[in-house]
Structures are given as C-alpha cells and as structure tokens.
C-alpha cells in the first residue's frame, strides 16, 4: 500500500439510507454505482476493503416490531434486506472490474458464502473486497454492531462510517445552522453525550479493540480517498 494512505485494511460501513439516494426508499443503482466507484478507486491501489451495508432503505426491524410482528422475526427480515443490498453492491463493483465475495452471517449457500473468518482473511489478502451481509446474524443487533465485529475480527486499522454528513456535529447540521463539526472525539465522549454516530455496542467494541472510527461523507466525490489519506473533512473517534 502506498504510504499516502493512513490505513492498510479498513472496514467501510454504509447505511442502507445512503443507497436509496434521493428516492426515499429502496436501492438507487446510480448511488450504488457511485459508492462502488469510490471503493474501486482505492482498492486498485492496494487498500484492503471490507464492506458492511445496512438494510434500513428496505426494512428496519424495530419499526415493524411494535405492530403485528415480534421483534426477532422483524429483525430477521432486516437482515435479509442487508443481503439484497450486498448483492446490489457486489454487482456494481464487479461491473467495474473489482473482485468481490459476499459472506453472509445467515447461511444462504446459493446466494453467498457463509461467513468463515479465515476464508474472509484470505480473500482480503488476495485483494478481493469482502462484503459482509446479514450483520452479526442475530436479532436485537444492527449492522453497526456487525461492522464493528467484523472490523475487529479482520484486524482492520479503522472502521470508516460513510454517511450523508461529513462527520459528527454538535447538532443536526441539516436542521441547526449553528452546528459545528468535531475533528476528533473520544469513544467515551461519544458514549457519554449519546452522540448518534453508531450504536453504543459498536462504539464500545471499537474502544475495547482500539480501532478508530472515522465518520465522513460518502456522497461527495473523492471523499473516501481523501479521508483514507487524512485529508478533507471528517471526524475521528479514538
Ligand atoms: N439486523 C439484525 N441483526 C444484525 C443486523 C441487522 O437484526 O446483526 C436487522 C435489524 O432489524 C435492522 C435491520 O436488520 O434494523 C437493518 O439493519 P440496520 O438498521 O443496521 O441498517 P442501516 O441503518 O445501516 O441502514
């Protein structure tokens, strides 16, 4: 990896909401293609990339659980949504020549490899982008927790959270014009101030594993590359 990059191996978490683009729901293939291009851009230069995609653009367990469904069943549906997003992401990456493998925490042999840690590590060494689907494979969790778990298991140097905002702010910058961005935060500050960056369980796992979380905007052209080089706007939690 050229020394211009700060990290050799990273896990990129993209929430389902990013993939829906401006549609308001579902998968916007134009946005998926943009995210794929940003990944290809750095993968070609040797940065090893793990990818976790959320499912909130299709189905979020908690929002359905209160009504007619029990939470666990609704959460399994949410996990299936992440598999659909993972396949969309895989298609977009392979279309532009990036080798990928999808590994699912829920066994679905016709669609994806089952999650096998040592096999995933081998894929990374061979330069393949590994897309981890179905979160941790258990209800009552989210893909943030799945991202943190896989980042720790894969020995990633950082967990990058790609959002539609270029970092963590004192308030919602889309609603409050006086909001300012933090350049850096400690894990403890994030937990104590209950900043909505990632789930508390994901933040705690990253703290215990000593893996920094970098929050940046994936929707801006070139921002993934810049963030990996330590340039531009982002927030580092360490
Ligand atoms: N989910 C789950 N366990 C996991 C990962 C996901 O139960 O390990 C379910 C949960 O219902 C969640 C949904 O899948 O609401 C979609 O994931 P998430 O909300 O994390 O997606 P994002 O907000 O990143 O789009």
Here the CATH number for the domain that contains residue 172 is: 3.40.1160.10
Band of pLDDT at residue 66, cut at 50, 70 and 90 = low
Band of pLDDT at residue 67, cut at 50, 70 and 90 = confident
Band of pLDDT at residue 165, cut at 50, 70 and 90 = very high
Residue 48 alpha carbon to ligand 1 centre in Å:
24
Q: Does the pLDDT of residue 182 top 90, yes or no?
A: yes
Other Cβ atoms less than 10 A from the Cβ of 41: the count is: 17
Q: Does the pLDDT of residue 3 top 70, yes or no?
A: no
Other Cβ atoms less than 10 A from the Cβ of 176: the count is: 11
In a domain, 1, yes or no: no
ipTM, interface predicted TM-score of the complex: 0.97
Mean per-residue pLDDT, 85-103: 98
In a domain, 203, yes or no: yes
CA distance 165 to 212: 18
Annotated binding site for ATP: 13-16, 56, 60, 163, 169, 172
Per the structure, the complete domain to which residue 186 belongs is given by 9-237
In a domain, 45, yes or no: yes
pLDDT at residue number 62: 83
In a domain, 2, yes or no: no
Mean per-residue pLDDT, 123-133: 98
User: Which atom of ligand 1 lies at the shortest distance from residue 144's CA?
Assistant: 20
Band of pLDDT at residue 1, cut at 50, 70 and 90 = low
User: Which atom of ligand 1 lies at the shortest distance from residue 140's CA?
Assistant: 7
Q: 167 CB less than 6 Å from ligand 1?
A: no
In a domain, 4, yes or no: no
Band of pLDDT at residue 63, cut at 50, 70 and 90 = confident
Q: 55 CB less than 6 Å from ligand 1?
A: yes
Percent of the chain with pLDDT over 70: 98
Mean per-residue pLDDT, 22-27: 92
Percent of the chain with pLDDT over 90: 91
Q: 162 CB less than 6 Å from ligand 1?
A: no
Work out how many domains the chain is built from and give that number: 1
Band of pLDDT at residue 2, cut at 50, 70 and 90 = low
228 burial via Cβ count (<10 Å: 0-12, 13-18, 19+): buried
In a domain, 224, yes or no: yes
* DSSP string over 139-196: TT--HHHHHHHHHHHTT-SEEEEEESSSS-BSS-TTT-TT--B-SEE-HHHHHHTT-S
């Amino acid at each position: 990896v050229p020394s211009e990059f700060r990290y050799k191996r990273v896990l990129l978490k993209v929430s389902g909401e990013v993939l829906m683009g401006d549609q308001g729901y579902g998968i916007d293939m134009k946005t998926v293609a943009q995210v794929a291009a940003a990944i290809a851009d750095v993968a070609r230069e040797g940065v090893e990339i793990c990818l976790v995609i959320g499912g909130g653009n299709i189905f979020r367990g908690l929002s359905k659980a209160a009504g007619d469904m029990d939470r666990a069943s609704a959460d399994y549906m949410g996990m299936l949504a992440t598999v659909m997003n993972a396949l969309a992401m895989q298609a977009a990456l392979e279309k532009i020549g990036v080798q990928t493998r999808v590994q699912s925490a829920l066994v679905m042999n016709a669609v994806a490899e089952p999650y096998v840690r040592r096999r995933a590590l081998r894929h990374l060494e061979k330069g393949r982008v590994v897309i981890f689907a179905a979160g941790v494979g258990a209800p009552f969790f989210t893909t943030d927790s799945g991202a943190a778990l896989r980042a720790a298991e894969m020995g990633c140097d950082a967990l990058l959270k790609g959002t539609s905002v270029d970092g963590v702010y004192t308030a919602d910058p889309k609603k409050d014009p006086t909001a300012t961005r933090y350049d850096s935060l400690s894990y403890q500050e994030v937990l104590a101030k209950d900043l909505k960056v990632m789930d508390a369980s994901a933040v705690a796992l990253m703290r215990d594993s000593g893996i920094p979380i970098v929050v940046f905007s994936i929707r801006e052209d070139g921002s993934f590359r810049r963030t990996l080089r330590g340039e531009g706007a982002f927030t580092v939690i360490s």
